[in-house]
């Protein structure tokens, strides 16, 4: 009985018909694989701008605060007084590590995360990331008064600042929801952007009665929401101040 | 056929199959990463880890879709039997690709925080009661566990020690894993990536798997053969019995029966291979033995025993021929029982 036309897996002899078919199907599958991969990759949403060169660790001079979130007002970004948020190297804020230096002139050590005019400094690990500045710069780097701009109702998404500024690309939507939640619960400032994410120029840092948001905000992170709150200007920052009760899931 | 449980029983074809498989995986990753890296405007590139997460995730879905198509395709054409025989390596490769995807997701999205990354998967998104908001990562995680169990028990050692029934039931979990994976994609990536291509890919992939299984299931439904001569079941006219091949008979009760012709002899055995339940009646007589079309397990026609040194046994059945018509007694003999073949003579043909 010939077995030439019957495939037996353990046999060293593979029928010619099976070999021919396998090579033909294999070539077809490889071609389809390459085309499919290219197509799937090509049609992805743009991930957004933003950079973070972790290897470029510098010293930054300015006035630091722990409330509502850890941030520094510095002239080292472009020579003008600007605000940079502060984070650890991972997913956490550093408010608790500022301690008694809050409100003082300091020198901190970290790398810049930047997207447009938004800036964050990821400070280095260890105790020497911050020290009081013995010779404060003559530029006025005190935080200005908050200016109310009025109540607004906006539709959009709550996200975490660090990822959106450049730690991740992309950094929004459902696929990033759990990461954003983890960042915000760990003390990174939440921010709000309106629905048109591609043309968004300025993010609004979210606060609750002038303080950082609590974990009550977490269920709304990365979902389509409508929020009613007070818009505020704080130097070069835009704030959106209001309680969680002003947020409605769409 | 395996007796001493080598890690991999290599054949030239299996090596060739694995080379093609690895080439396909490499080609997909190179193409995906390359296009992702160059397609974005300056300053808007994906981070490398996120490109890999997407490349591995989409590849795992496509691989599993292809794997699930192989079974029904092999029922429709013998040319897919080589794919069927070698799909085990494809399954293990799929698990490894999915594992890399999951590992990178856990590291990137759930690491570096104040929560255990594995805990974060389950608690960072608490919207379990919402369809759109459902934490899709959990679905992928459960699918990965199923794929792990299947990959870990894919070797014949586990088939023999767990028993074919339990092993088969465990490996049918692939359909649950695939369903979870489809939901994982639909409730995750498709909520963010709105391009129709992704919906079409998911729908086409899942639809093809369903259609092929339904088609072969309908084609595989056979009428129960009625008792036709004193309780014996009619098999076929002798002239319709192809040499070296079988006719499959389905009695009202019990397993289907494969009735083989080997030259001038007719014998009947259980249609169910003891290895993975393959349809012996779709196999062939090779070197005097019934050979399963799935993995090449062999049984002697007359007693249903695998040749030495193998120990598998299947049930045998009595046959006879009256006026050129082959009949089989639906009452099975104990597996491994010798049963005289019916010899074709001038008198009964």
Task: Check whether B81 has a pLDDT greater than 90.
Answer: no
pLDDT tens digits, one per residue of B261-291: 999 999 999 999 988 888 899 899 998 899 9
Pairwise CA distance, residues B86 & A178, whole Å: 38
Distances (CA, A) of B296 to A44, A210, B248, B293, B307: 45, 74, 18, 6, 13
Class of residue B197 by CB neighbours under 10 A (exposed 0-12, middle 13-18, buried 19+): middle
pLDDT tens digits, one per residue of B25-77: 999 999 999 999 888 777 778 889 999 999 999 999 999 999 999 999 998 98
Could you say which residues from 14 to 33 on chain B have a Cβ atom under 8 Å away from some Cβ of chain A? 14, 16-17, 20, 23-24, 27-33
Predicted confidence band of residue B308 (pLDDT cuts 50, 70, 90):
confident
pLDDT tens digits, one per residue of B92-140: 999 999 999 999 999 999 998 888 999 999 998 988 998 888 999 999 9
- Whether the upstream peptide bond of residue B309 has omega within 30° of 0, thus cis, is yes
Looking at residue A9, its pLDDT comes to 80
Check whether domain B227-343 has CATH 2.102.10.10, yes or no: yes
Contact call for residues B284 and A3 (beta carbons, < 8 A)? yes
ipTM comes to 0.88
Binary contact (A33, B244; C-beta < 8 A): no
Contact call for residues B283 and B272 (beta carbons, < 8 A)? no
> What are the structural domain ranges in chain B?
12-220, 227-343
Nearest to B292 by CA among B306, B302, B311, B303: B306
pTM of the predicted protein model: 0.86
- Which one of A89, A159, A182, A197 would you mutate to disrupt binding with B, by most B Cβ within 10 Å of its Cβ? A182
Q: Which residues contact B6 (CB under 8 A, 6 or more apart)?
A: none
Binary contact (B295, A9; C-beta < 8 A): yes
In chain A the domains, ranked by start, together with CATH numbers, are 51-132 (2.40.50), 147-249 (2.40.50)
pLDDT, mean over chain A: 91
**Cross-chain CB nearest to B32 (options A41, A49, A177):** A41
**Cross-chain CB nearest to B110 (options A22, A169, A178):** A178
Predicted confidence band of residue A1 (pLDDT cuts 50, 70, 90):
very low
pLDDT tens digits, one per residue of B3-38: 556 666 788 888 999 999 999 999 999 999 999 988
């Amino acid at each position: 009985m010939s077995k030439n036309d019957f495939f037996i897996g353990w046999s060293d002899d593979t029928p010619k018909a099976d070999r021919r078919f396998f090579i033909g199907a294999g070539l077809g599958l490889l071609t389809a694989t390459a085309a499919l991969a290219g197509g799937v990759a090509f049609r992805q949403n743009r991930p957004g701008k933003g950079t973070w060169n972790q290897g470029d660790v510098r010293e930054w001079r300015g006035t630091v605060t722990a409330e509502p979130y850890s941030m520094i007002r510095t002239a080292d970004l472009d020579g003008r007084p600007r605000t940079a948020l502060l984070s650890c190297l991972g997913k956490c804020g550093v408010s608790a590590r500022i301690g008694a230096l809050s409100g003082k002139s300091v020198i901190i050590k970290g790398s810049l995360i930047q997207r447009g005019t938004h800036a964050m400094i990821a400070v280095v690990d260890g105790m020497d990331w911050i020290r009081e500045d013995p010779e404060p710069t003559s530029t006025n780097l005190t935080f200005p008064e908050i200016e109310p701009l009025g109540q607004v109702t906006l539709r959009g998404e709550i996200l975490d600042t660090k990822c959106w500024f450049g730690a991740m690309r992309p950094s929004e939507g459902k696929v990033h929801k759990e990461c954003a939640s983890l960042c915000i619960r760990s003390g990174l400032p939440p921010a709000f952007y309106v629905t048109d994410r591609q043309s968004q120029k300025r993010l609004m840092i979210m606060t609750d009665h002038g303080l950082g948001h609590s974990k009550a905000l977490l269920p709304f992170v990365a979902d389509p929401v409508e929020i009613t709150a007070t818009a505020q200007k704080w130097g070069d920052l835009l704030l959106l101040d209001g309680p969680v009760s002003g947020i409605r899931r769409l | 056929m395996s007796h001493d449980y080598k890690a991999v029983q290599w054949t030239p074809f299996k090596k060739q199959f694995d080379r093609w498989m690895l080439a396909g995986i490499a080609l997909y990753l190179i193409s995906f990463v390359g296009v992702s890296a160059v397609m974005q405007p300056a300053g808007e590139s994906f981070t490398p880890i996120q490109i890999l997460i997407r490349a591995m995730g989409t590849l795992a879905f496509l691989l599993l879709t292809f794997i699930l198509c192989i079974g029904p395709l092999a029922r429709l054409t013998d040319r897919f039997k080589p794919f069927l025989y070698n799909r085990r390596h494809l399954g293990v490769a799929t698990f490894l690709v999915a594992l890399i995807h999951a590992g990178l997701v856990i590291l990137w999205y759930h690491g570096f925080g104040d929560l255990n990354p594995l805990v974060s998967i389950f608690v960072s998104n608490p919207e379990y009661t919402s369809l759109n908001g459902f934490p899709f990562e959990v679905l992928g995680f459960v699918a990965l566990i199923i794929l792990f169990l299947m990959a870990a028990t894919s070797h014949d050692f586990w088939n023999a020690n767990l028993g074919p029934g339990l092993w088969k039931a465990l490996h049918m979990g692939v359909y649950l894993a695939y369903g979870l994976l489809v939901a994982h994609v639909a409730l995750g990536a498709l909520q963010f990536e709105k391009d129709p291509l992704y919906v079409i890919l998911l729908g086409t992939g899942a639809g093809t798997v369903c259609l092929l299984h339904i088609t072969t299931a309908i084609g595989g439904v056979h009428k129960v053969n009625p008792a036709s001569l004193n309780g014996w079941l009619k098999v076929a006219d002798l002239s319709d019995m192809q040499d070296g091949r079988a006719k499959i008979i389905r009695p009202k009760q019990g397993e289907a029966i494969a009735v083989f012709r080997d030259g001038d002899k007719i014998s009947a055995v259980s249609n169910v291979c003891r290895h993975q339940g393959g349809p012996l009646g779709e196999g062939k007589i090779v070197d005097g033995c019934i050979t399963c079309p799935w993995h090449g397990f062999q049984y002697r026609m007359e007693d249903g025993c695998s040749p030495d040194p193998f120990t598998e046994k299947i049930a045998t059945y009595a046959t006879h021929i009256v006026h050129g018509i082959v009949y089989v007694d639906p009452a099975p003999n104990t597996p491994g029982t010798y049963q005289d073949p019916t010899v074709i003579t001038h008198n009964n043909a």
